[in-house]
Structure 1
Amino acid sequence: MFKVPKSKKFLYLGVVSERAAERFGDTPITLDHDMDAFPEAGRKLTVAEFAGHVAETANRLWAAGVRPSEHVAVHKTSSFDITVLACAAARIGAVPAMLSPHLDGETIGKLLERLERPTLLTDEAKLTGSLAGLPLTALTARVVTVTGSHPDAVSLVDLAGAPERRPVLLDPDQPALMTHTSGTTGVPKLVVHSARSLGARGNWQDKVVSLIRKRETAAMHVSYVHSRMYLGLAVLQMRGMPMVFLNDGDPAHVADMLVRHRPGVLETHPNSFLEWESMLDDPRRPISNVKYFNSTFDAIHPSTMHKFLHASDRRAPVFLQVYGQSECGPLAARTYRRRNALKADGRCQGYPTPGMTKYRLVSRGGAKPSRETPGYIDVATAGRALTYYGEQERFDKQVVGEWWRGGDVGYRTKWGCLHLLDREVDVIPGIESTLEIEDAVLHKLDELTELVVVPGPDKRPVPVVCTRGDEPLDMERWQAAVADWPALGAPVRRRLSELPRTATAKIRRLELARQLAEALTPGETGEETEHEESENTAAEPTGAHAG
């Protein structure tokens, strides 16, 4: 019988559930939807049943012709079965490449080309929809569809009952998983992880979860293609914590699920927490039992943390904010409580973990890194990825010895706390931090559901605002709120659904700036500019950071 490895140094996605099932096989996994590939599984399964689906699917993929070290591009309609498919590919030693369901067909075509004819694991909806115009025969070695049928695809259903295959474990420093960057600056980069780098990230996150003494139910609304999902899934399974995974991020739906399951742990993207503020008025108090809040994808606004912490009825609830990047995993962290969340500097990312992560600040122009002259944030961690697949030179440009330069700029306080001001590409001359402005104004104006400051056509900072219920913006209140930043241009109002987003709900700032350049003329002014919904806006449902 196959012996599942016990070492915590390495994380093999294909067998972690099997290992977890040895102790916690009955631990429940609850979904808010039926899985496309396994509709018979229903919305409640156990860790042991999850492991069984992984093993059975791995057998089918082998029967389809997939072999160790080959690339398997997973790109299908959003559903929890994406995690099963990824782990199944990994179980036979293939390398799953996770491609967001929300990427357009053109981008998928470019990524398939970069992957050099991978197996494409998809569904009928994608094959007849966004992928219909692609030359898949030329771009892939084979296409396997998990639902329906297609003339150029093998049906996963038809492979049921395939002979059992033993797991294949590659060398811990070989590619084991590919995820992609957020795509905020163009076509996403494919980040290559190994069993060793995933293990290092998993150990960091396991230390955090080990501080939760009581067996709490954990609810997650996280992108299924992000490395964070696989690390979270692994840690929760190995700790025997009941899990609830949310596919639909609509606040009303999430509130229903939270009331039904009353989780003690809640994790989602920062922008999702912002959107979910609307559920805090629900008389059923859906947040009342949450003791631990986790947001590990991007900076989160202090006012949002404050509101959620005060919506909990638990004693001393905690909001954990983690700073990191897809290429490196978690790097620094800080906890917030009711007494300090609102007073906190939203740019403070906390401290590195001794013995696991460290950072340094490097001058960008000769001046000592400070708030006024922020420096490059270089980080070092055992969880660093191997490369960008097909773009080694691009990856190497960000490597400085043991350090990784991820493109963020900031400074260190006299207490050693890391402060993140902006992405370097988002820096606007004359503005110390766009993120800081957004934090402050969102705190002052509860009627805003989002605020993003980007450069306009004339490079002047333009605030793009979204309001609750798409109500008109009160310009008197707006002017009072932004009085400290006279350089800001007139606000441009958009619907929340219009904002271009990544798979983790981050705003694609460069794309938003490009859209503004098309919609506005240089120097355009006015009390408020409202832009009608654009057909070209590729907004993703709520629903880079630290994998």
Structure 2
Amino acid sequence: MALFGKRIELGTLFEDVADRGHSTTVHLSRPLDIAPGMGTVLDPPALAGLVRTAAGWFAAAGVKPGDRVAISKRDHWDLVLLCCAAARLGAVPVPLSAHLETDVLDILLKRLDPALLVVDSARTADRRPAEHADVRTLVLDGEAGDPSALSLDDVRGHTAPAPRRPRVDDPLAIVHTSGTTGVPKLVVHSTRTLLRRLAGFEAHRWPVLASRPDDVVAAAFSFAHGRALAWTAAVSALGPAKMVVITSADWAEARLPLDEHRPTIVEAQPSTFVRWRSRTRSGAFDRVRLYISTFDAVHPPTVRTFLNATRHPRPIWLQGWGQSETGPLTFRFLTRRAMRAEHGRHPTTRDLGRPVPGRTRLRVVDRDTLRPVPRGTAGLLACSTKALCLDYVGERERYLRKRAGQWFITGDLGVLTRSGRLLLLDRETDALPQASCVEVEDVIEDRLPGVGECVVLSVPGRPAQPVLVVEDGRLDPEQWRDAVADLPELADPVLMEWGRLPRTATGKVRRAALREHLGLEPGTHGTGKWT
């Protein structure tokens, strides 16, 4: 995607937007943690100035081109701005979720060996691993505490050097996977894979999908995720009227910006849509023409509720499927009609559509031999895309194990139909014999409206274990039996509150942690080899 006569660049993104004269304003659900005095409404020149200022902080802290800069602070869009600041120096930013537990952060920092660790006081209070006391640390708020650490007062006022741009195939940023099954992987992307292939593709003026000059585009997902970088670059390039940034799924914070700005495009992680389902009558979604969902499976009742919440005559739900390593691989448009349950037919969101034309290819291979299987046969999913990441930091062997020439094993199970559509079954490590956990979850949520979320855990040697989040904390036993009568045998459901389900930063349920919480054996029907 040519932006302003040149390519999208991360380090100078907002300078380029400002030079072009785009009038897009960014509206925040709360002020930036790194610049609370700037308020909640920012324009491209202000953002460009803040990125330059932050680049000056990093330069004063000794960051040089090629260095890795690890950034771990509470979730906010300023994680993206700090990544831009590091990239402006030619360094490689590494956003790390504040949800990461101390021992997990310790492992990731050991693999990264960053030149600078950027944190906030919440992280330094009790979560910074002692083993990394020798890593130069910059504390973004308050006093550094540790005499060896830097505070913002120590680095303010330093003029940022001229922008440095990495070569197109050199590392640009390192992001981490969700970590639903263990320690997240550190995924290396280049300018070509992250900006040219992913953000550049989105920044085209595609019918329906691309934001228009009069659109109000809202985002509510983890800004520590690599998706935040691609989203910011692509939407900024397109120049809608407003970008609305929501940093919490908590309705107390989300309601005000949604009510005030009435978005026309909303992208959120599925768990956030689920939490907002009961709020759709508020009118906040009455102008939405396009919903976008990535990160995880989304179930039909959630899609149906939001499509019916807007007054737009033909709203669309774009369901994308992909990975941090690959970006989007398939997409499907869901409509009100597609989500209707008619004549006993159960609408499904497991149908993820077709590969992105001209960009991605899929094949299904046998789990044991890795040889392609015929259409209509279940197996491991492999993809081919020019947006594939460069490597896993500290896990080169793991990365190479998942590659076979141009093909990359995603770790998911699925079926390619004769028409080329993808039916997703499960993650290989979570597989349910002769069935699909995702499909069972679909059916249960559709048949029991009081169930806000259903998680099905496969358990070798016994029936699968369903875990339900129920709005009023009660479940009628007879309704349960009727709902699951024609499904594979299930254990008695466990009822849990929303906040007790262990989750990743992107709202995915950490199934291994949930197994441990419930006292279930750690083994599954899958091998876990392809995670």
TM-score (norm 2): 0.91
Cα distance between partner residues in 1 of 2:224 and 2:237: 20
The structural deviation recorded for 1:136 is 2.9
Q: Does 1:13 align with 2:17?
A: no
Q: Is the CA contact (8 Å cut-off) linking 1:361 and 1:375 kept in structure 2?
A: yes
Matched-pair contact (CA < 8 Å) for 1:68–1:168: yes
Percent of residue pairs identical = 37
1:496 paired with 2:498, answer yes
CA pair 370-453 structure 1, distance change in 2 beyond 3 A: farther
Q: What does residue 538 of structure 1 align with?
A: none
Which residue does 2:162 correspond to in 1?
Answer: 166
Query: Relative to 1, partners in 2 of residues 1:460 and 1:118: Cα closer, same or farther, differing over 3 Å?
Result: farther
Matched residue SS, 1:348: coil
TM-superposed deviation, 1:56: 1.4
Equivalence for 2:526: none
How big is the shift at 1:455? 2.6
1:7 deviates by 4.0
Q: CA RMSD in A?
A: 2.1
Q: Which residue of 2 aligns with 1:433?
A: 436
Work out the CA distance in 2 between the residues paired with 1:327 and 1:459. 34
Query: Is the 8 Å Cα contact of residues 456 and 513 (structure 1) preserved in structure 2?
Result: no
User: Of 68, 76, 83, which residue of structure 2 is paired with 1:71?
Assistant: 68
User: Is 1:383 matched up with 2:377?
Assistant: no
**Which residue is equivalent to 1:204?**
201
Q: Which residue of 2 aligns with 1:523?
A: none
Q: How does 1:403-482 map to 2 (within 5 A)?
A: 403-430=407-434, 432-456=435-459, 458-469=461-472, 471-482=473-484
CA drift at 1:102? 0.8
Which residue of the other structure, out of 335, 346, 351, is the alignment partner of 1:337? 335
Offset, 1:163? 2.2
Which amino acid counterpart does residue 88 of structure 1 have in structure 2?
A
Compute the displacement of 1:207 (Å): 3.6
Structure 2 counterpart of 1:328 = 326
**Which residue does 1:32 correspond to in 2?**
29
Q: Could you say what secondary structure the match of 2:232 adopts? A: helix
1:277 aligns with 2:277: yes
8 Å contact kept, 2:33–2:78: yes
Partner of 1:227: 226
Q: Is the 8 A contact 1:251 1:278 kept in 2?
A: no
Q: What residue is the counterpart of 2:344 in the other structure? A: none
Q: Do structure 1's residue 263 and structure 2's residue 263 form an aligned pair?
A: yes
Provide, for residues 131-162 of structure 1, a one-character-per-residue CA deviation record: whole Å limited to 9, x for no partner: 2x523323x2x101111112231112432221
Q: Aligned to 1:104, which of 82, 92, 101?
A: 101
1:363 to 2:366 alignment: yes
2:42 — aligned with what? 45
The one-letter code of the counterpart of 2:337 is R
The reply on whether 1:374 has 2:373 as its aligned counterpart is no
Cross-structure match for 2:141: 147
Corresponding residue number in structure 2 for 1:218 = 217
CA contact (8 A) 2:355 2:361 kept: yes
Question: Is the contact between residue 24 and residue 237 of structure 1 (CA under 8 Å) also seen in structure 2?
Answer: no
Alpha carbons of structure 1 residues 519 and 494: separation in structure 2 relative to 1, 3 Å = farther
How far does residue 193 in structure 1 lie from its aligned partner after superposition? 0.5
Gap change, CA 1:473 and 1:248, over 3 Å in 2: same
Shift, 1:62, TM fit? 0.7
Following superposition of structure 1 onto structure 2, how do residues 114-129 of structure 1 map, counting pairs within 5 Å? Answer: 114-129=111-126
> Unaligned regions of 5+ residues in structure 2, if any?
342-346, 523-530
Q: What CA distance in whole angstroms lies between the structure 2 residues aligned with 1:149 and 1:379?
A: 48
> In the alignment, which residue of structure 1 is the partner of 2:297?
299
Distance change (3 Å), C-alpha of 1:58 and 1:210: farther
C-alpha displacement at 1:452, in angstroms? 0.2
Q: Is the 8 A contact 2:119 2:138 kept in 1?
A: yes
- Supply the distance in 2 between the matched residues of 1:272 and 1:449 (Cα, whole angstroms): 12
Deviations 1:73-96 (A, max 9, x none): 100122222111111011101111
Equivalent residue of 2:70, what SS?
strand
CA distance, structure 2, for counterparts of residue 203 and residue 152 of structure 1: 41
> Match of 2:232, as an amino acid?
L
Output one character per residue of 1:167-208: Cα deviation in whole Å (capped at 9) or x when no partner: 111111111101101111111110000001012011232247
Q: What is the rounded CA distance, in whole Å, between the counterparts of 2:517 and 2:106 in structure 1?
A: 23
SS in 1 for 2:308: helix
Query: Aligned in 2, Cα 1:400/1:208: closer, same or farther, shift over 3 Å?
Result: farther
8 Å CA contact 1:323, 1:332 repeated in 2: yes
Pair 1:483-2:489 in alignment? no
For 1:488-527, what aligned pairs fall within 5 Å after superposition?
Answer: 488-517=490-519
Contact 2:267 2:291 in 1 (8 A): yes
Do 1:455 and 1:513's aligned partners in 2 also have CA atoms closer than 8 Å? no
- d(CA) in 2 for partners of 1:100, 1:389: 17
Conservation of the 8 A alpha-carbon contact between 1:387 and 1:395: yes
Partner AA of 2:360 in structure 1: T
Q: How many pairs are equivalent?
A: 508
- Equivalent position of 1:190 in the other structure: 186
8 A Cα contact 2:29 2:253, kept in partner:
no
- The one-letter amino acid of 1:33's match is R
SS in 1 for 2:187: strand
Alpha-carbon distance change, 182 to 260 in structure 1, aligned in 2, over 3 angstroms: same
- Is the alpha carbon distance of 1:208 and 1:427 closer, same or farther for their aligned partners in structure 2, counting shifts above 3 Å? farther
In 1, Cα distance between the equivalents of 2:521 and 2:471? 23
The superposition leaves residues 233-253 of structure 1 with CA deviations (integer Å, 9 ceiling, x where unpaired) of 111111111101001211343
Contact 1:364 1:374 in 2 (8 A): no
CA offset at residue 215 of structure 1? Answer: 2.1
Could you tell me how far apart the structure 1 residues matched to 2:206 and 2:349 are? 24
Distance 1:208 1:426, change over 3 A: farther
Question: How far, CA to CA, are the matches of 1:157 and 1:86 in structure 2?
Answer: 20
Aligned residue in 2 for 1:524: none
Q: Structure 1: which 4+ aligned runs deviate by more than 6 Å? A: none
The aligned counterpart of 1:349 is 352
Q: For 1:176, what is the secondary structure of its paired residue? A: strand
Return the TM-score normalized by structure 1: 0.89
